[in-house]
Amino acid sequence: MTESSLTGLRKLYDKLMLHFRALRAMGKDPVNGQLTTAEIFLALIQRAMPSELNKKWENFIESNTSTPANLESFLEFVRKQIEIEKKATFTKGTKSTGVEKCPTTLHEN
């Protein structure tokens, strides 16, 4: 192992240990099974999502305290966001009314 790869490995290890300590502080020790598979999937899926969607999710959870911040709720939230975007996109086009949008030009005399 080269010195640079050893340094990189050490940095990765230190970063992992930092995350493990943070998880333990939250009562989610992955070594002792306190971190569920669903919680891991939720974190991974959120990292793959656009930041705008994650911000909407955080706002949704803060304003709907009865909704648990879990994988099932997040997936349902994403499904609803897709439907909302689909409807919004549909109504922007000519499909929603069957009437074409005409450009408006103002003429000065």
**Which pLDDT tens digit goes with each residue over 25-63?**
999 998 888 999 999 999 999 999 999 999 999 999 999
Q: What separation in angstroms does the CA of 53 have from each of 6, 25, 50, 58, 80?
A: 38, 27, 5, 9, 11
Q: Give the per-residue pLDDT at 65.
A: 94
CA distance 108 to 51: 45
Give tens-digit pLDDT for 59-96.
999 999 999 999 999 999 999 999 999 998 888 764 54
Stronger pLDDT, 103 or 76, i.e. the higher one: 76
- What pTM did the predictor assign? 0.66
In angstroms, the CA 97 to CA 109 distance is 33
Structural tokens at position 20: 């493990």
List CB contacts of 57: < 8 A, sequence separation 6 or more. 46, 74, 77
